[in-house]
Structure 1
Amino acid sequence: MFNLKNLIKTAAFVLGMTTAASPVFAADTAPKPTIILVHGAFAASDSWDGVAPILQDKGYPVISIANPLRSVSGDAAYTRALVDNIDGAVVLVGHSYGGPVITNAAKGAANVKSLVFVASFAPEKGETIAELAAKYPGGTLGEALAAPVPLGNEIHDLYIDPTKFHAQFAADVPADKARLMATAQRPVTDFALNEPSGDAAWKDIPSFHIYGTADKNIPPAAMAFMAERAHSKKTVVIDGASHVVMVSRPDAVADLIDIAASAQ
């Protein structure tokens, strides 16, 4: 006589059996870390639209957050709240201004296994974004900014002039795409760019870095300096890539994130 209970017990027994060859299957089914993507100034969460599906196809849970861009400490706290609410390992990925956000958010977070800096700042404690941007020649962001928007208390919102956005921010992106990005850009406060960073998580957590040689927002020499200082586990430099390397070279960025997520 058919007995559903016995059938379930039998199936459970068969599925629970192990053999000498079984560890490879256990490794394959281990949960993958959650990838949290943190956009930078003058961008938005959709700047990761090329990277996210590649990672999802590899089986990673992916979250692309809406970074407030108000202050490094406040934005880091916002990101940390999400990190603390996730079960299992996390890889934090930051673009540009998102780099200081992830290194501040990750400090002391036991579940953050890797940091990935995508054309971004990796500040030491006490350093500001403005200070690092001016450390080496080659950055032309100041010349491309529109008139600051006063918010009160001597704080201003900063935007890139839409007519200069393509050449300054996304020179290797098609013009039509760059025009949409300029329209959707989210401003950062001047306060955030001049706020000293807190303790640097890259001192305790493995970091990985990728940037382009044609970046006009952050001088490539500055990013090379920060990657070397952080003892980067792997640094990828893409010839001719602009500041939005995750938009123009999503495969390369996703590959590095995959390496960071798989690192032991």
Structure 2
Amino acid sequence: MSKTPTIVLVHGAFADAASWAPVARALLDEGYDVAVPPVFNRSLTGDSAYIRSFVEQIEGPVLLAGHSYGGAVITVAGVAENVVGLVYVSGYALEEGESLGALQGGFPDSDLSANLVYSPYPVEGSDPGTDVSVQPEAFPDIFAAGVPKEISRVLAVSQRPLSAIAFGEAAPVAAWKTKPAWGIVSSADHTINPEVERFGYQRANVRKVLELDAPHLVMMTHPHEVATFIIEAIDELA
């Protein structure tokens, strides 16, 4: 590969682009080009279309890294021609035709499922949609375990909800069928059952799996390990 890929970091549900800040800083310090776009968390197809459009406006190759729901997003957006690889970070590696709900349904629920909040939001010209978020009281221990309490309390009241329709949307494509992939499993994850992560990565035939004794927000609690893993993926592509 003649040009080092730009690394595009894709956040998931209940978080925003700032959740990638420690990893982005580490990668920037190493001299890599990095972009961390927003994900609007309105629908899998809509979010993926936005990220694909964002990626296609970058000159040269792109390595996509997706955390949590961001893994589902890069599974679809990763078919963009200039995407050369996928890195799943505690993420969903969906099969073509599969939804988040269908993948999760094959495994025992995580602690997250009993601590979700459902709230209506207006949709112009249609019935109201439903936002899904995490109980603020449960957020620090379930979603942000391992993050200092003074930070997790702020994250809990500033989370970006995920529209309920995203859980039932089937992935129209699976980029890992044609693009090399890598995966990080957070073995202490209370948001996604780690078996969901392992199963998805195995099915996607990822080149390497890194198991970390880490919580869901692994890129905040273990930024060095995550950044190093992404760099190793780029080195392997080279």
- TM-score, length of structure 2 as denominator length: 0.94
1:59 Cα deviation after fit: 1.3
Which letter does structure 2 place at the counterpart of 1:260?
A: A
Instruction: Report the Cα distance in structure 2 between the residues aligned to 1:149 and 1:246, rounded to whole angstroms.
Output: 30
Q: What residue is the counterpart of 1:22 in the other structure?
A: none
What pairs up with 1:1-264 in 2 under 5 angstroms? Answer: 31-107=3-79, 109-151=80-122, 153=127, 155-239=129-213, 241-264=214-237
Q: Is the 8 A contact 2:118 2:130 kept in 1?
A: no
1:140 Cα deviation after fit: 2.1
1:49-97 deviation digits (Å, cap 9, x = unpaired): 1000111111111111110101111111101111111111100011111
The 3-state SS of whatever aligns with 1:68 is coil
1:256 Cα deviation after fit: 1.0
> Comparing 39-48 with 177-186, which one deviates more in the overlay?
177-186
1:140-194 deviation digits (Å, cap 9, x = unpaired): 2221112433435252011111101011101111111111111221010000111
Instruction: Report the Cα distance in structure 1 between the residues aligned to 2:112 and 2:204, rounded to whole angstroms.
Output: 25
1:188-211 deviation digits (Å, cap 9, x = unpaired): 000011111111000110101012
Instruction: Report the Cα distance in structure 1 between the residues aligned to 2:76 and 2:44, rounded to whole angstroms.
Output: 8
Structure 2 unaligned runs (5+)? none
Instruction: Report the Cα distance in structure 2 between the residues aligned to 1:132 and 1:172, rounded to whole angstroms.
Output: 26
Structure 1 unaligned runs (5+)? 1-26
The 3-state SS of whatever aligns with 2:31 is coil
1:138 Cα deviation after fit: 4.4
The 3-state SS of whatever aligns with 1:263 is helix
* Compared CA separation, residues 154 and 128, structure 1 to 2 (3 A): farther
Which letter does structure 2 place at the counterpart of 1:76?
A: S
Q: Alignment RMSD, CA only? A: 1.4
Aligned residues: 234
The 3-state SS of whatever aligns with 1:162 is coil
Instruction: Report the Cα distance in structure 1 between the residues aligned to 2:154 and 2:185, rounded to whole angstroms.
Output: 22
State the structure with more CA Rg: 1
Instruction: Report the Cα distance in structure 2 between the residues aligned to 1:76 and 1:37, rounded to whole angstroms.
Output: 13
Q: Is the 8 A contact 1:103 1:202 kept in 2?
A: yes
The structure whose RCO (Cα within 8 Å, separation 6+) is larger is 2
- TM-score, length of structure 1 as denominator length: 0.85
